[in-house]
Structure 1
Amino acid sequence: MAINADTLTAGGPGTPARPLVVSRARTSRRIFLDRFAARTVVLGGIVIISAILAILFVIAAEVWPLFRPPRVVALERLSAGATPAPGAGLGVDEYREAASMVTADGTIQLVPLKPTVTRAAPLPIAGLEGARVTAVAAHGLDRYAIGTSDGRVIPLEMKIEVGFEGARRTVSVKPAFAAPVVLDPGRKRAILRLTVASPDSGPVTVAQVGPHDLIVQTVVEKKTLIGGTRREESVQALGVPVDGEIVALRLDGRGDDLVIGTSRGQLVRYDMRDRGTPTVVETATVGAAPVTALSFLIGERTLVAADAMGAVSSWQVVPPPTGGAATLTRINEFESHRAPVVAISPSRRDKGFVTADAAGRVKLHYGTSGQTFLTFGDGRPLRAVVFAPKADGVVAVDERGEVVDWRVDNPHPEITLKTLFGKVWYEGYSRPAWVWQSTGGTDDFEAKFSLTPLIYGTLKGTFYALLFAVPLALLAAIYVSEFMHPAVKGYVKPAVEIMAALPSVVLGFLAGLWLAPAVERIVPGLFLLPAVETVVILAALLAWRALPPGVRGPFRPGTEVFVLVPVVLLGAWFALTLGGLVEQRLLVGDYRGWLLAALGLTYDQRNSLVVGVAMGFAVVPLIFTIAEDALANVPQHLRAGSLALGASRWQTAVRIVLPTASPGIFSAIMIGLGRAVGETMIVLMATGNTPVMDWNMFSGFRALSANIAVELPEAPEGGTLFRVLFLAAFLLFCLTFVLNTTAEVVRLRLRRKYRYL
């Protein structure tokens, strides 16, 4: 190369160029930096992937116990030394250290279940006076009623006391007997079956003394203005005209409904609200076999019935879907026994219960889901069974008086795939439904953990947000990229990108406190806005083209947007004004009342429309920025070739630029979709957070992310709600992963399709 100007002027040969000399140290340093940078990038990628996998592992570790199969372990088989009395006379303490049993020979037995408990001598039942124990009924916590062969009932409260003798822990039974109540003083017939309820208004006792004969004793306690309470007792005979014989009895805890099981497989429900006149309400058929056992689950709303064929089913008094009087309705059918069911014991903590049959098998069920979890037993015929107070064990006694103890590990019985994603028939509902309601005001609350309304709410909010954001962002990106003057673009694009920096909590705050009330006042105008704006802009375009060139001259191509701004504002004002007129003339002055009367839709102030607008503003900058970059990166020779062949700028943008940039545009939409799916604060603050499945855009919803933010601070660590919220997080993680993966696959296919352009 000639680098000397004098040499070139003289026309002589040029001076050879000096070779570029780079020191070995400099070369080595460059190689080192290149390798270091490459390894740093690889390490950063590995760290990111590891962090994501670690998060996924933590979430999976919290979710796995929900689906871990329940387990049961047989612990002890001990002899009680006596046979149990007919009925529900078996009990166990909270820590499963000792079992108590009312025996047929008129004693109270304490059976140690742990080596640390010393067996005590049997305690006689006070007040028997030579009579035999013919029936035992349990009601409340550790309270029993003992029926005798001479027509009396002996109330009993079984107190299990814990003490210490030195360093040794002792457990003892302290039965507290009340005065016997004579139910059949005249004939002194033996009490065959017994059921008791203890509502606040006073106890109700129903005893069977014959194949079709009942005796009902009611005690009404009334507070007087001066003094204490006044007790009014009444005893009446009740003849039950049933087909067959009475073989089972059960009162609910409120004393409102008496259910009678017959030998022909029927259930007869009596209304006991008027204590003086019990009334037959209805009869329902369980099956062809005799009913052998009845029990109410916690909350006293779900009745479990079992028969001699081993069938087990749950029933509720619910109104029909079409309206009308509530009737006894079969809700769930559980896995059947192979022998007659002899006993049912409900859990004191949840809707679980156990059933025992005459062949020595015990089954663990859950009332809400209709699921049977476990079947266990050693084949010896059983007489009674009791579910431990903490639902962590089962104690049963066989016909020879041997007590069997099992430990049960089933910490999350509420959770099955059906309760999480399917329709479940909950207490008080007229039909199966998807419901999320994690907490209630009472201990007998039936937890409802359906994630389907939350998934539906997430998709609903995302749909309305993208319905607002995608057209606005894409059309703006096309205009800015293809038609706007570069000088104006230099200000507009950074301004839109700055919108992405707005915190979502600020957008949610504004949406909930300002936007929602504002939208409520102008809903008819909002629906007219797109049509009115289109007409106004087209009219402005025609007027612009009709202007003389001298008037349009000061405006350079691509700056017409400044003329369009006042036109758009004028169109918005006209649309809102027209909306008010439409509401007054066509919607009887109140669009909310018209929606309810004409379409059956209710209007909530914080609804999907508000969320769509607010979350749309959060998504627009992302879609706009990425889509505009994709359009701007289309090679200029494609535009030049199209224009040279006679195409207009609009035809070039739509038929050449837009398809070429489609991979980037699709990625922009999918990234916006991912942002909308995972949005938390806007949907938390701008909706009513009501987990309902309703397509109505004027109703609220609850999204997965918002539900996690609301519920997790109050969820007990390790509890069912805590783990279900982690499951919701796992679903959200999988949803965004699928969306991103789909976006990348489609983007690569589009890129290969247009790679030769």
Structure 2
Amino acid sequence: MEEPDRSFPAPSGARRRAAERPGKARRSVVLADRIADRAITVGGVFVIIAVFGILIFLIEEILPLFKGGAITGVSEYDTGITFESPPVLNIDEYQSIVVALSPDGTLETFHARTGRRLHAPAFDFQGKKLSAMGHTFDREVLAFGFEDGTVRFAGMVLKTEILTPDRLPPGLDVLDDRDLTDGAAVYSAVPGNQFRKVSVELGLEEELRVSTPGIPIVAVDCSAGGMAERPTRALVTVNSAGEVHLSVTESRLNLLTRKAVTKTDTTVLPPIPRGTEIRHVLLPSKADHVYLADRSGTVYRYNIQRFETPFLAETRRLLPSGVQLNSMGFLLGEQSLVAGGSDGSVGIYFRLDRRDATTADGFTLVRTREFEPHEAPVSSLEPALRGKTFLTADQSGRILLRHGTSEATLLRMNGGFEKTRALVIAPRLDGVLALAGDGHATLWNIAVPHPETSFRTLFGKVWYEGYPEPGYTWQSSAATDEFEPKLSLVPLIFGTVKATFYSLIFAIPIALLGAIYTSEFLDRRIRGTVKPVMEMMASLPSVVLGFVAALVLAPVVETWIAAVILAFLVLPACLVGASYLWQFLPERLSLRLQHWPKSVLILCTAVFGLFLAWRSGPLFEDVFFQGSFVLWVNRSHGGAAPFLFLVFLPVSFLAVSAAASRMYGRRLKLFMRGTGSFQAAGLSALNQLGVVTVSILVSGILALLCDRLGLDARGSFVDTYVQRNTLVVGFAMGFAVIPIIYTLAEDALSSVPEHLRAASFGCGATPWQTGLWIVLPTALSGVFSAIMIGMGRAVGETMIVVMATGNTPIMDWNVFNGLRALSANIAVELPESVKDGTLYRVLFLAGLVLFAMTFCINTLAEIIRQRFRRRAMQL
């Protein structure tokens, strides 16, 4: 038996010529190959180094956000001043002079850095005995209450002047390496051959009779406001008889005589229970509420918004039974009420509007924060003039620097003495002074650059002043000094995800279906024209797309919003209907109309669908939304059923189509094989028409049922309409993302081996079945990479999001309102931020989060792509 010939056939044609080529490449080719190999390797290494360098730089910039504070220097000295009761301390922003005002009205001043006593001015009370004292938050306006029932306003200002050397007084004494003194003021050299003078200026106004004559004032507080030409001041007094009086003074300056005329109005507040010993009186600068507190921790809150009819709004005990209230005060902005107890506890209370409140005005004090407790009873509390930072001290001498929002303990200090009589924080938050009753003082130089930041304030829910509950909030700046920056990155991350999600919903179906059609159905000559045009779309600058979206697309969409919504249904319906009409054409004619004519007809059908949606938009809006879609989403009129019908319609169509295919699809196909092409097309069209009819009925029934159950799409992914919204961003960003996904997906689909297509066609599959079940799974790794690269493009998009969304940092899936993305926030905020400031570093943290998001997306895409690629290589 002869063995079969297993030798390979001799090469012929091109293969013979290739076989006859020499096996050794030319030296120039080898050299060029090696150079390219080395250059690509070195370039790749440098890219990796650059990426790691960027990562290290970002981490280096954000680390100070989480470091808390540090003590940079300590000075201890004896001032020689003794106090029986805690004085009121004040210090200038340059830490030159400290002012100590005792409860009896005695004023002492000393040098902040050395403790040397200075000559202090004095208040002249004309022999009257001081019985109570209060001050504004900045300590520049004082109120003195006397035993005869009168009060007097006073001013105590640390004045700063810049002097030239020729204006310096002679014979200045040296205090330290920075400061000089003439015995009363402190002089410091500053750049430009100049000197800074810090001095104390006092002012005492005429007495006011605001209480019952002869009854001593036991507690007083004051506030200042109004305009420069019409200043107003308010004060609250409590006398020994338990009477509470509210007084408002208004000064008007006569522009001709330059004399001020002061008018005072006084009203009596509802009385407090007899025998109540008031220890704390607080009057915020707005003068809308008054807080009185006794030693047991019971707070009496008066509503004084109407001066003529004040009333006791709430009586509440802040601390548990048996715990005394040792300290109470406001933080900057006078919205956060801080209370320190005899058990060492420290907490913050907000005045909030509560529906279930049993108070007279509907507001109630709510404990919103609790801090690390002291081991001994709290003895004093001192707020800072910058931010929500404050000091607490206990009777063992332990002092804690805290932040009211982050709830962090920034610094721990020990005064070295048993009882801290008074505390003060330097206005620039760079120093802390503690003064004991025996005159011993300690000055800490501190550095707390970012007290408001912690992992919780950046990524967790925070309960801010004026908000009903904790939430994620971004608001970096405002027009007032009392404003507290709200720097949660969660709304920005949410905005990035929201913009990406809606953009990809619009982009992926169009790009992927377009790639499948181009790869499997479109003529090669037409593809050679279409694909370069799509690639050129990717080169359009995003700033141009954002400009067009903001100034052209957004107003058009707002005007024709009903037509836009209708187009999502009409355009696919027209294309599907045209495809069924195409089946009625004779086979010879349909073959002749392939390629360019067919593409032109598809384009014309799409244009017709858009035109039909545009013309039908007003009628559609009248029937479904009673004439105005914008008013409907604002819940001004209409029910939930019409829009729910539109939402359920695509889902119902898919479900009914699947059910019909499963029930009789195979039998219908077998039956149509025995009929002519025209009859088969008619049966297919009738079947599809029946599916659409049933889908409409099912969708209508579901919409009515959900409406009866109280379900409404409004308030979820559709709600109040804003012109610059996520829908516009989806269109504009989809225009930028579609070319990327389309090009890469089409390349992946076109690279599928032809023998797989041939095998599928040989088994009787149609081009659509081949593309869907053979080509697409084989190229799935490349298609997935295309989608992920498009997602990365959408995540990092800046200008479109900046210009077309309104940049509102809200957490809402409503497609008709705006958002603020990480990239847009960096672009908007970074030019206005102070270098190395908190906002500056938080923006770099936003950049790191964006870096991490894109890194994770690309890494996940590569892992999945490799998995799909291994499966495809087995084919």
Match of 1:195 in 2: 221
Measured in 1, the distance between the counterparts of 2:781 and 2:21 equals: 46
The answer as to 2:398 corresponding to 1:361 is yes
Match of 1:632 in 2: 750
Paired residue type of 1:287? L
Match of 1:119 in 2: 117
The answer as to 2:300 corresponding to 1:268 is yes
Match of 1:708 in 2: 826
Match of 1:13 in 2: none
The answer as to 2:106 corresponding to 1:107 is yes
Measured in 2, the distance between the counterparts of 1:657 and 1:543 equals: 27
Match of 2:330 in 1: 296
Measured in 1, the distance between the counterparts of 2:21 and 2:603 equals: 62
Shift of 1:651: 1.5
Tell me if structure 2 keeps the 8 A contact 1:127–1:180. Answer: no
Measured in 2, the distance between the counterparts of 1:96 and 1:214 equals: 38
The answer as to 2:249 corresponding to 1:219 is yes
The alignment partner of 1:754 has SS state of helix
Tell me if structure 2 keeps the 8 A contact 1:118–1:170. Answer: no
| Among 681, 696, 699, the residue aligned to 2:799 | 681
Shift of 1:547: 1.7
Structure 1 stretch 746-755 or stretch 392-401: which is displaced more?
Answer: 392-401
Please list, as runs of the form range in 1=range in 2, the aligned pairs for 1:524-535 lying within 5 A after superposition: 524-535=562-573
Measured in 1, the distance between the counterparts of 2:375 and 2:364 equals: 30
Match of 1:492 in 2: 530
Deviations 1:601-646 (A, max 9, x none): 2111111111101100100000000000000100111111111122
The answer as to 2:529 corresponding to 1:503 is no
Measured in 2, the distance between the counterparts of 1:21 and 1:224 equals: 107
Please list, as runs of the form range in 1=range in 2, the aligned pairs for 1:247-396 lying within 5 A after superposition: 247-275=279-307, 278-288=310-320, 289-320=323-354, 325-377=362-414, 378=416, 380-396=418-434
Tell me if structure 2 keeps the 8 A contact 1:361–1:376. Answer: yes
| Among 214, 224, 230, the residue aligned to 2:261 | 230
Match of 2:234 in 1: 204
Match of 1:747 in 2: 865
The alignment partner of 1:491 has SS state of helix
* Closer, same or farther: CA 497–22 of 1 in aligned 2, 3 Å: closer
Shift of 1:695: 0.9
Structure 1 stretch 188-197 or stretch 582-591: which is displaced more?
Answer: 188-197
Shift of 1:499: 0.6
Shift of 1:428: 2.1
* Closer, same or farther: CA 185–489 of 1 in aligned 2, 3 Å: closer
Tell me if structure 2 keeps the 8 A contact 1:183–1:215. Answer: no
| Among 273, 281, 295, the residue aligned to 1:241 | 273
Paired residue type of 1:359? S
The alignment partner of 1:552 has SS state of helix
The answer as to 2:18 corresponding to 1:53 is no
| Among 473, 476, 500, the residue aligned to 1:462 | 500
Tell me if structure 2 keeps the 8 A contact 1:192–1:208. Answer: yes
Match of 1:475 in 2: 513
The answer as to 2:844 corresponding to 1:738 is no
Structure 1 stretch 252-261 or stretch 235-244: which is displaced more?
Answer: 235-244
Taking structure 2 as the reference length, the TM-score comes to 0.79
Paired residue type of 1:37? A
* Closer, same or farther: CA 233–703 of 1 in aligned 2, 3 Å: same
The answer as to 2:619 corresponding to 1:584 is no
* Closer, same or farther: CA 494–182 of 1 in aligned 2, 3 Å: closer
CA RMSD of aligned residues (A): 3.0
| Among 415, 429, 437, the residue aligned to 1:399 | 437
Measured in 2, the distance between the counterparts of 1:485 and 1:130 equals: 104
Match of 1:552 in 2: 590
Match of 2:142 in 1: 144
In structure 2, runs of 5+ residues without a counterpart are 1-18, 186-198, 640-713
The alignment partner of 1:202 has SS state of strand
Tell me if structure 2 keeps the 8 A contact 1:358–1:383. Answer: no
Measured in 1, the distance between the counterparts of 2:64 and 2:256 equals: 57
Match of 1:170 in 2: 180
Tell me if structure 1 keeps the 8 A contact 2:630–2:720. Answer: yes
Match of 2:64 in 1: 65
Paired residue type of 2:290? L
Shift of 1:153: 4.7
Match of 1:12 in 2: none
Measured in 2, the distance between the counterparts of 1:728 and 1:331 equals: 28
Tell me if structure 2 keeps the 8 A contact 1:248–1:291. Answer: no
Paired residue type of 2:602? L
Structure 1 vs Structure 2: percent identity of aligned residues? 38
Tell me if structure 2 keeps the 8 A contact 1:485–1:559. Answer: no
Measured in 1, the distance between the counterparts of 2:21 and 2:501 equals: 65
Tell me if structure 1 keeps the 8 A contact 2:342–2:377. Answer: yes
Tell me if structure 2 keeps the 8 A contact 1:243–1:262. Answer: no
Shift of 1:502: 0.8
Structure 1 stretch 193-202 or stretch 618-627: which is displaced more?
Answer: 193-202
Structure 1 stretch 73-82 or stretch 397-406: which is displaced more?
Answer: 73-82
Tell me if structure 1 keeps the 8 A contact 2:131–2:218. Answer: no
Paired residue type of 1:71? A
Structure 1 stretch 736-745 or stretch 136-145: which is displaced more?
Answer: 136-145
Paired residue type of 2:289? D
> How many residues are treated as equivalent by the alignment?
737
The alignment partner of 1:354 has SS state of strand
Tell me if structure 1 keeps the 8 A contact 2:123–2:202. Answer: no
* Closer, same or farther: CA 501–30 of 1 in aligned 2, 3 Å: closer
Measured in 1, the distance between the counterparts of 2:268 and 2:817 equals: 55
Structure 1 stretch 171-180 or stretch 636-645: which is displaced more?
Answer: 171-180
Shift of 1:749: 0.9
Shift of 1:136: 5.5
* Closer, same or farther: CA 340–193 of 1 in aligned 2, 3 Å: farther
* Closer, same or farther: CA 658–712 of 1 in aligned 2, 3 Å: same
Measured in 1, the distance between the counterparts of 2:72 and 2:220 equals: 33
The alignment partner of 1:702 has SS state of coil
Paired residue type of 1:210? S
Tell me if structure 1 keeps the 8 A contact 2:826–2:843. Answer: yes
